[in-house]
Every structure is written in structure tokens, then in C-alpha cells.
Structure 1
Amino acid sequence: MEVHLIAVGRARRGPEQALFEHYAGRLRHPFKLIEVEEKRPLTGTELQEREATLLLSAIPEGAVVIALDERGKHLDSPAFARALSDWRDQGIRSTTILIGGADGLTDAVRARANLVLCLGKMTWPHMLVRGLIAEQLYRAQQINAGHPYHRQ
């Protein structure tokens, strides 16, 4: 199954990008980062709506969508791995993970998601979240392969 990570904003060189590249490079399935960004000086609801449009328009047809949002479900790593393997076993060919901008996701984006996932109650830098998600995808890959990485 291919995985797309669609994120608001552009990555810059630094430790967060290195972490992301480290784990993304370890994934065996096709993985693609798609960055979307509004260049106009919009603010508040107007910016949030525009980012929603950019995120939704970048989702591949037929993809299962995971939206990262503070109001989402809390899953442990084995449950996340199971969800990915269940979708794969159902014949789903593409999973897309959405990372919104600083103002979060709109109701429309959350409604489009098959799973709204929370990484915890703390606020995380968006660039660090990319690395966290890449690591969890790698961890899920290893869990589903029966590899002991998860317990190390």
C-alpha cells in the first residue's frame, strides 16, 4: 500500500527534516510527501478554509484518509499497525495522512477522514510531527512483519 503524507507548509533543512528522512527512507512501501502552502497573506478562518481546500484536493482518489487532530482517537502503535494492515487486506491501495496548519483542520477535512487521530494532548511543531508519523509508519511496518523493533 502506498502512503501519502500531505502537510501544510514547506520543510527546511534541520534536525526535524533529518528525522523525517531517516524514517521515511526505511519504509518498504511507496511513500510520498506532498507539501501544500497558501502564499497569499490570509489569516484566521479564511486561511484555514484555503488550507482545507489544498489538503482535500491533494488526496489521491480512493485513498483512506487519516487526519491528525487534537479531537481524534488515541491509538497505541499496535492498533495503528492493525488499522493499516486491515486496510491493506481490504484491498485499499492508498492511505493518506493529513497534517494541517497552525489553525488546525476544518470540519470538512475531519468529515472526509476515515480516521481522525490524535498524537496526544500536547502541541507538537508541525515539522516534528512529520518525523513522528514517519517513525510510526516504520514501526507499523515492523510490527506487521513480526519484527522485534517495537519492543526494543
Structure 2
Amino acid sequence: MRVLLLCVGRLKAGAERDLVARYLDRAKAGGRSLGLSGFDTIELSESSARRPDDRMVEEGSAILAAIPAGASVACLDPRGRSLSSEDFSARLGSARDGGTSASCFIIGGADGLAPAVRARADLLLAFGAATFPHQLVRVMLAEQIYRSTTILSGHPYHRA
């Protein structure tokens, strides 16, 4: 199963970009034996529309167009569910075991996700009640994906 991060906006060179690359490279290496591949990031352009609702709709159209057919979709959303690392990895493993071709994790733009994107999601996922910058959310997501590969493989990286 292919793992894909769809993100509105681009990470500039720096610590966050380096951390995302490091975690996704680690996930790639460990994911092969688990039937997981890709670990690709698609960066979508931020909308230049004047109104926030118009920006969300425009970005939402780009997000929906980038989701592969038959993919499972998890959207990062502050109103979503908080999952333990074990539950996060169990969902990834279940999607893989269920024959899903791709698992997409979506980080929307600064104005949030369009209702159509939220409706397409199989899971709305929150990393707690606090608000984090998009750059850090991307790092945390990449780390959780890597952690999932270690949990699924029984590697000791994950400790309580």
C-alpha cells in the first residue's frame, strides 16, 4: 500500500523539512517488509483567493483531485479524534490488510479544510487540542507514520 502526504503549502529548506525527510526515509526503509511503499509528499499550492471560504474551496478541489482512486483518507483537523500511536498504526495496518491501494494523510491550508474534503475523509485526526504550525504538524505526522512502521514490525523504537 502506498502512503501519501497531501499538504497545502510548501516547506522551506530548514529543520522541519529535514525532519520530515528523515522520518519518511526511515518509514520507507522499514515499510518495505510491511507492504508499505511510497511515503511521498505532494505539496499543493496555497490559494490566492481573497475570501477564506473561497481559498478553502479552491484548495479543497486541488486536494480531492490529488487523492488516488480507492485511497483511504485521514485529514488532520483540530476537531478530529486524538489517537494513540498504537491506534494510528492499527488503522494503517488495517487499511493495508484490507487491500487499500493508498493511504492519504491530508494537511489543509491556513483556513482549514473545505467541507467536501472533510466529507471525503475516513478519519478526522487531531494531534491534541492545541493549535500547531503546519510545519510542525507535518513533522509530527511523518514521525507518527514512521512510528507506525516500527509498531507494525515489532521494533523497539516505540516505548510507552
- The verdict on a shared fold, with TM-score over 0.5 as the criterion, is yes
SS at match of 1:21: helix
Within 2, Cα distance between the matches of 1:85 and 1:44? 36
* Partner SS state of residue 151, structure 1: coil
Q: For structure 2, which runs of at least 5 residues remain unmatched after alignment?
A: 29-36
The within-5 A match list for 1:56-95 is 56-95=64-103
Aligned alpha-carbon RMSD (Å): 1.3
The CA distance in 2 between the partners of 1:127 and 1:65, in whole Å, is: 20
Task: Give the counterpart letter for 1:69 in structure 2.
Answer: D
Which residue of structure 2 aligns with residue 146 of structure 1?
154
d(CA) in 2 for partners of 1:151, 1:42: 46
Give the TM-score, by structure 1 length. 0.95
State the percentage of identical aligned residues: 45
Q: Which contiguous aligned blocks of 4+ residues in structure 1 show a shift greater than 4 angstroms? A: none
1:101-116 equivalences in 2 (<5 Å): 101-116=109-124
Q: How does 1:1-152 map to 2 (within 5 A)?
A: 1-28=1-28, 29-38=37-46, 40-151=48-159
**CA contact under 8 A between 2:7 and 2:107: conserved in structure 1?**
yes
Output the CA distance in 1 between the equivalents of 2:85 and 2:48.
38
TM-score, normalization by structure 2: 0.90
CA distance in 2, matches of 1:143, 1:38: 34
How far has the Cα of 1:118 moved from its partner?
0.7
Q: Secondary structure at the match of 2:106?
A: strand
* Partner amino acid, structure 1, of 2:83: L
Number of aligned positions between the proteins? 152
Residue 143 of structure 1, CA deviation: 0.2
Which residue identity does 1:125 align to in structure 2?
P
- Distance in 1 between the 2:47 and 2:114 partners? 19
CA contact 2:47–2:59 (8 Å) conserved in 1? no
Structure 2 contact 46–109 (Cα < 8 Å) conserved = no
> Any idea what SS the aligned residue of 1:149 has?
coil
Q: Which runs of 5+ in 1 are unaligned?
A: none
